[in-house]
Amino acid sequence: MKELLRRNSKILYSYLVFLALGITLVLVFGKADIHIFINSKATPFADFVFKYLTHLGDGLSAVAVILLLLFFSFRSSFTQFMAFLSSGLIAQLLKRFAFKGMPRPRTFFEGIYDLHLVEGIKVLKLHTFPSGHTATAFALFFCLIFTTKNSYLRVFYFLLALLVGYSRMHLSQHFFPDVLAGSFIGVITAILSIYIVNRWKASWLDRSLQKQLSSKK
């Protein structure tokens, strides 16, 4: 665990700075004012970009990455699967039980503020905390961050995770605290999943589907 954290210390410090700044902004300005500010900055270009980029936090995107990784490493694929499953489960349990019925922006601002909504997006009304898409995205991309040696790719993955989180606010599906909580769930589950799977000594985990198919020829 210490080696994993040390090797990825720069990205983790960057994430902690983002988390600390985010929490500070919420405490100072409140989730409503932050959301109105973000919503007021919408442009047609941003609408188009975030309408599609937000799907990187979908379960289908995570499953696609998990299947693709089978061709490179069973261990990496299984790690992604564990992070995806655990982050999603935690987010849904919190959303449906601990914070059941919390209003999303559309419901919260109804009759108070006329939100800019993106055409073609079904905006949900309840169960806002935490953001499941953000949890999935951060679990997905931080698993990739922890398993790549390319520093440029690490930064790229981190930025993608942040953009997915921002997309949830731009589309008025979530408030900033929802995104912060989702990101934390994603990062923690990614770290724990890698730590757990890396401790397993099963030799088959270090193989890949590509090698398995090649060996049968």
Q: Does domain 2-202 have CATH number 1.20.144?
A: yes
Distances (CA, A) of 166 to 49, 84, 143, 160: 11, 20, 20, 10
Length of the chain: 217
Task: Give the separation between CA 148 and CA 146, rounded to whole angstroms.
Answer: 6
Q: Phi and psi of 126, rounded to 5°? A: -130, 180
Residue 134 contacts residue 174 (beta carbons within 8 Å): yes
Task: Give the separation between CA 128 and CA 106, rounded to whole angstroms.
Answer: 10
Cis peptide before 130 (omega within 30 of 0): yes
Give per-residue pLDDT as tens, 44-68: 999 999 999 999 999 999 999 999 9
Which pLDDT value is given to residue 51?
Answer: 97
Give per-residue pLDDT as tens, 131-165: 999 999 999 999 999 999 899 999 999 999 999 99
* pLDDT at 25 exceeding the cut of 80: yes
DSSP secondary structure letter of residue 95: I
Q: Which residues contact 24 (CB under 8 A, 6 or more apart)?
A: none
Domain ranges (residues) in the chain = 2-202
Residue 103's DSSP bridge partners are 126
Tokens (6 digits) for 34: 């932050």
* pLDDT at 18 exceeding the cut of 90: yes
DSSP secondary structure letter of residue 97: I
Q: What is the pTM of this model?
A: 0.95
Between residues 85 and 207, which one has the greater pLDDT?
A: 85
Q: Which residues contact 154 (CB under 8 A, 6 or more apart)?
A: 8, 11, 145, 148
